[in-house]
Amino acid sequence: MPENTSRDVALIGAGHWGKNLARSFDALGALGVVCEASPAAVDAIKKQYPHVRTTASYAEVMSDSSVTKVAIAAPAALHFELAEAALKAGKDVYVEKPLCLRLDHAETLVKLADSLGKTLMVGHLLQYHPCVVKLRELVAEGTLGRVLTITSNRLNLGKFRTEENALWSFAPHDISVILSLLGDRLPETVRCMGNAYLSNNVADSTVTVMRFTGNVMAQIYVTWLNPFKEQKLTLVGTDGMAVFDDTKPWAEKLTLYRKYLSWQKGQEPVPLKVTGEAVAVPEGEPLKAECQHFLEACRDKKRPRTDGPEGLRVLQVLDMAQRSLESGGEAVAPTVAVVARPFFAHPTAIVDSAAEIGAGTKIWHFAHIMGKAKIGERCIFGQNTNVAGGVVIGNNVKVQNNVSIYAGTVVEDDVFLGPSCVLTNVTNPRSQVNRHSLYERTVFKRGTTVGANATIVCGITLGRYSFIAAGAVVAKDVPDYALMVGNPARQQGWMSRHGHRLKPGADGVMVCPESGLKYQETSPGVLKCLDLDEEAPLPPTLQVGQKTYDELKA
């Protein structure tokens, strides 16, 4: 049964690869229109999909209100023009690789999609192969240790091209996968060498070498002048090796070699003859998974795995390789004028397209930042964290593993949310009763710390630099600097900005043992820092403590 019944996808281009997209989108119940100029291709579409409308005018597609998504499988030279027109017409867009042929055009598309809140996805098919998904998991889990080298061979006999060389025809998929395995970072340098044997200035074979920070190297060899077909990617890490061979039967496609080295006395490595173990991967069709991913990204307003910025990174590497190829293999560094995410997101994390995230923020394994969430600079989100749409988070906020922040929550600067702490947004939830319009506002004021497994009941405010002990259950407003302990939580004293319990002196002045800052109750239940304005940041000399914890306790 089709998984989507709206049939709101228009496919532009039903040729060599477009016909495969037509098959996949139709199987998902999404294909409604095919735009194609070739009479033969149109006849084939009509025979195979009599329920699908056809047209030769892409302008007709853009003006069709029933079309909300456009998939582009036209020649690469037309990608920019078609994608730009579709975005400006209010459509979500899928573009076959490459995103386009010029970096400035790619930058324009990425900015345009973000400004309009539209999905822009690039057809880097290998990213959706179940074996590549599993390989990313092995890297993320540390099974292979630190990545050392990646080698990819994509060889075949034909189909010979006369417009694009082997680099642009074959390598985008491999570049996309390699960048994803290395945390979406660009190489420091790229070298590419190749030769044109069949057509002038069209390289039939190329070898591309990419060097990354941390002394990591990746190599891609592509050619359509080879007597046998090979599609193999080998990843070597400090603790293991993995081989993805897409020409083998499914059960043998992904092989893992564990602990292939032994370090003898004198720290000399000795290779071990280890037997490869087949990695069990659920069988699935990559193209169908890719098309389904596009439909879901549009529906849920999530950033697709191969979004516009990802396509831009791949295009930048292709541009570097092409410039190196034309210069005889000279090393080429990345250009500066390319849009890149100002934040880091692990390949397993999901960041929706409408989310706003500041520079320097890091989002780790399996986290999900939903659309319309606003996150400041230099924040850290640990594994399995979730931020709902509409949540506002300040700068330098640290959210530890397994924390969900729901709509209605405001988190100011310098807040620490400990692992598995529980936040809520409805006082009296019922599954049968929809209370989306009744979300309660919970505010974490600047500098608040919430300990592991603590529970914060919604509709309250936690004061500046308050400290919620691990496991505490807080149901009422908390004063600035208050230390809250127990279930239900009760105030057990005061904490300094540096997180130390304050002890009253003879004159009522309390001194932080780490920073020397002085505090005093100016009225019952109200603590003030005597040395700093409440809104002031810590002076640089006080931001890093100089004493050990044992020294402070003494």
Q: Write down the pLDDT at residue 264.
A: 67
Q: What is the pLDDT of residue 106?
A: 93
Assign 7 a pLDDT band (cuts: 50, 70, 90): very high
The confidence score (pLDDT) of residue 338 equals 45
Q: Is the peptide bond before 347 cis (omega within 30 degrees of 0)?
A: no
Mean pLDDT of 499-521: 89
Q: Is 251 helix (H, G, I), strand (E, B) or coil?
A: helix
Q: Write down the domain spans for the chain.
A: 127-286, 344-553
**Pair 21, 36: CB distance under 8 Å:** no
Contact 461, 477 (CB under 8 A): yes
CATH 2.40.30.60 fits 344-553, yes or no: no
Ramachandran class of 402: left when φ > 0, alpha when ψ lies in -120 to 50, beta otherwise: left
Residue 517 has pLDDT above 50, yes or no: yes
Helices first, then strands: H and E counts in the chain: 10, 41
Q: List helix spans (H) across 49-129.
A: 58-63, 79-88, 103-116
- Who has greater pLDDT, 340 or 391? 391
Q: CA–CA distance from 371 to each of 260, 351, 374, 387 (Å)?
A: 44, 8, 9, 9
Which residue shows structure tokens 């020397």?
516
The 10s digit of each residue's pLDDT in 134-184 is 999 898 888 888 899 999 999 988 777 777 889 998 999 999 999 999 888
Specify the pLDDT at position 526. 93
Residue recorded with tokens 């046998």: 228
The average pLDDT across 321-350 equals 80
Sign of CA dihedral 38, 41, 47, 50: negative
Residue the block writes with tokens 């930058």: 107
Determine contact, residues 186/218, Cβ cutoff 8 Å.
no
Average pLDDT, the chain: 89
Q: What was the pLDDT predicted at 548? A: 44
- Rounded CA-CA distance 371/357 in Å is 11
307 DSSP assignment: B
CA dihedral defined by 221, 120, 81, 72, rounded to 10 degrees? 70
Residues 6+ apart with CB under 8 A from 14: 22, 34, 36, 38, 41, 42, 44, 45, 73
Please, which residues bridge with residue 257 across strands? 241
pLDDT value at position 552?
45
Architecture per CATH, 127-286:
2-Layer Sandwich (3.30)
Residue 470's Cβ-side half-sphere holds a number of Cα atoms within 13 Å equal to 4
The pLDDT value given to residue 464: 94
pLDDT at position 467 over 70: yes
Distance CA 370, CA 372 (A): 7
Give backbone dihedrals phi and psi of 131, rounded to 5 degrees, phi first.
-70, -35
Lowest mean pLDDT among 334-348, 427-441, 473-487: 334-348
Q: Work out the widest C-alpha separation in the chain, in whole angstroms.
A: 95
DSSP string covering 168-228: HHHHHHHHHHHHHHTTTPPPSEEEEEEE-SSBTTB-SEEEEEEEETTTEEEEEEEESEEEE
pLDDT of residue 340: 54
20 burial (CB, 10 Å; 0-12 / 13-18 / 19+) is middle
Are 472 and 489 in contact by the 8 Å Cβ rule? The answer is: yes
What is the SS3 assignment for 20?
helix
| Pairwise CA distance, residues 63 & 65, whole Å | 6
Q: Which two tokens stand for residue 9?
A: 């996808």
Residues 473-482 pLDDT 10s: 999 999 999 9
How far apart, in whole angstroms, are the C-alpha atoms of residue 184 and residue 136? 12
Q: Note the pLDDT tens digit of each residue in 98-132.
A: 999 999 999 999 999 989 989 999 999 999 999 99
- Banded model confidence at residue 535, pLDDT cuts 50, 70, 90: low
Q: CB under 8 Å to 54, separation ≥6 — which residues?
A: 33, 34, 35, 36, 42, 45, 46
Provide the edge-to-edge strand list for the sheet that holds 409-411. 356-357, 374-375, 392-393, 409-411, 442-444, 461-462
Amino acid at position 116, single letter: L
Looking at residue 266, its pLDDT comes to 62
* Token pair belonging to 220: 């891609």
Average pLDDT, integer, range 11-29: 94
**CB-CB contact of 428 with 442 (8 Å):** no
| Dihedral sign for Cα atoms in the order 11, 13, 15, 17 | negative
Single out the residue of 121, 55, 61, 131 nearest to residue 92, CA to CA: 121
Please state, as a whole number, how many other Cβ atoms lie within 10 Å of the Cβ of residue 286: 18
* Mean predicted confidence (pLDDT) in 46-74: 95
pLDDT of 395 strictly over 60: yes
Q: Residue 422: which residues within 8 A CB-CB, separation 6 or more?
A: 453, 454, 455, 456
Distance CA 396, CA 68 (A): 38
Position 3: which residue type? E
Confidence tier at 533 by pLDDT (50, 70, 90): confident
3-state secondary structure of 9: strand
Confidence band for 265, pLDDT divided at 50, 70 and 90: low
d(CA 351, CA 349): 7
